[in-house]
Chains A and B, each alone.
Chain A
Amino acid sequence: EVQLVESGGGLVQPGRSLRLSCTASGFSFGDYTLMWVRQAPGKGLEWVGLIRSKAYGGTTEYAASVKGRFTISRDDSKSLAYLQMNSLKSEDTAVYYCTAGSGSFDCWGQGTLVTVSS
């Protein structure tokens, strides 16, 4: 079964760090760009950033709202991707999704909730 599963969410205080993981199965993870998307409660989807496949240099891009605080990485040997989130703010509270795809192939995880609050 083609699947992405996020983990690592939870309650964290402002200014602290959290690392989310995204585990892939059922497809050739290393062939695809991996993207993180978040959705604040009652709000729309927000693009967070992406990491390209090794074939396209494995480079990363970030939204202005998280650049310098968030880092995306991947370990293709384990079919894993990570979102390291530092200096968290209350406005980072959201469900975080990882997604991979190209053309008609498109896979999303179920999301993991991150709540930033004291």
Chain B
Amino acid sequence: SYELTQPPSVSVSPGQTARITCSGDALPKKYAYWYQQRSGQAPVLVIYEDNKRPSGIPERFSGSSSGTMATLTISGAQVEDDADYYCYSSDSSDTHAAFGGGTKLTVL
């Protein structure tokens, strides 16, 4: 199996920058994807292929990856960004994928 590690929680005030990290051994070779999940809803893709933003996702969402760590950055977090965030990637042989344990972002 493959594991991705995220901090359980991050808390910021509105307008501040939130950073959520994701560590995994294969991240130097494999893309990271980031999902936002609000309570009771299906996940929504906010970053794909490390640092690309799907259409419709606000510009304040950005991603980066260096070595074994990927980072989701929300610049100027808004109250509506309060949600769970999950990273996703696969192992180097593409035989196993994984989601990180999830990070609860509180914007308060």
Contact = CB atoms under 8 A, between A and B. Distances in A.
Interface of A: 35, 37, 44-47, 50, 61, 63-64, 97, 101, 103-104, 106, 108-111
22 contacts: A37-B99, A44-B84, A44-B99, A44-B101, A45-B37, A45-B99, A45-B102, A47-B97, A47-B98, A47-B99, A61-B95, A61-B96, A61-B97, A63-B1, A64-B96, A104-B45, A106-B45, A106-B54, A108-B44, A109-B42, A110-B42, A111-B42
Nearest to A103: B48
A108 B86 CA distance: 15
B86 A63 contact: no
Interface of B: 1, 35, 37, 42-45, 48-49, 52, 54-55, 84, 86, 88, 94-102
Contacts of B1: 63-64
Nearest to A109: B42
A80 B64 CA distance: 35
Contact of A63 (B54, B96, B102): B96
A45 B102 CA distance: 8
B66 to A, nearest CB: 21
B45 A46 contact: no
A111 B42 CA distance: 7
Contacts of B102: 44-45
B47 to A, nearest CB: 10
A99 to B, nearest CB: 8
Given A44-B86, A44-B100, 17 more contacts: A35-B97, A44-B84, A44-B99, A44-B101, A44-B102, A45-B86, A45-B99, A45-B102, A46-B99, A61-B94, A61-B95, A64-B1, A97-B42, A103-B48, A103-B49, A104-B54, A106-B54
